[in-house]
């Protein structure tokens, strides 16, 4: 089996999250006032801060990108071909990104999907519609919202599979004094629900004083 891969020149940026491309560069990460604190830090902290500063500059450069596209083609020794294409289109003004995926297998069957992710004032929305290799449609909608007052992140999702079954997810992550509590309720296509709660705490150093 021989492999051939074609990529656009900007594909080296694809490893970074699509949402990060839409975020404004943070001035604190730019080389400016932070440079003094970088020099004052120890070797480990200094390396981390330099890395963050470089990431800030690169994020600013990436803001001018409108499209990222990846193409991969695989051809077998008997001439059969499989192909996968992923294209991301960024709308910086409206803070959204549209991702189109198209896949063709060696047997000729194909599948495709389109995902639109939109930043909102306090979170995001994400909608996916597609068709699987059997020609059946599927969809998924998801929203995320952060409440600064209660320090709670809420995530709701609903998926409809190729056979028409619907699954839902309702999850919250609430910050506590020493960590966070995550509660998630999942409901399957039969209407059966399972709720799971996880609590994570930070270790608080013990005081040297016995008083």
Q: Is the per-residue pLDDT at 210 higher than 60?
A: no
Q: What is the CA 137 to chain-centroid distance, rounded?
A: 23
- 82-115 tens-digit pLDDT: 999 999 998 888 889 999 999 999 999 999 999 9
131 and 112 Cβ atoms separated by less than 8 Å? yes
- The DSSP result for 68-117, as a single string, is EEEEEEEE-TTS-EEEEEEEEEEETTTTEEEEEEEEE-TTS-EEEEEEEE
Task: Enter the pTM of the model.
Answer: 0.65
């Amino acid at each position: 089996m021989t492999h051939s891969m074609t990529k656009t020149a900007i594909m080296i940026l694809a490893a970074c999250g699509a949402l990060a491309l839409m975020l404004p560069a943070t001035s604190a990460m730019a080389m400016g006032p932070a440079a003094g604190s970088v020099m004052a830090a120890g070797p480990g902290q200094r390396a981390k801060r330099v890395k963050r500063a470089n990431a800030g500059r690169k994020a600013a450069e990436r803001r001018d990108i409108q499209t990222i596209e990846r193409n991969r083609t695989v051809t077998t020794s008997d001439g059969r071909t499989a192909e996968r294409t992923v294209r991301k289109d960024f709308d910086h003004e409206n803070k959204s990104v549209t991702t189109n995926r198209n896949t063709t297998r060696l047997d000729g069957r194909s599948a495709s999907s389109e995902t639109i992710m939109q930043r909102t004032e306090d979170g995001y929305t994400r909608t996916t519609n597609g068709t699987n290799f059997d020609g059946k449609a599927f969809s998924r909608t998801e929203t995320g919202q952060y409440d600064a007052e209660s320090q709670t992140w809420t995530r709701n999702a609903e998926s409809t599979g190729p056979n028409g079954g619907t699954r839902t997810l309702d999850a919250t992550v609430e910050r506590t004094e020493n960590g966070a509590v995550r509660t998630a309720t999942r409901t399957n296509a039969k209407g059966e629900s399972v709720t799971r709660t996880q609590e994570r705490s930070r270790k608080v150093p013990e005081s040297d004083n016995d008083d």
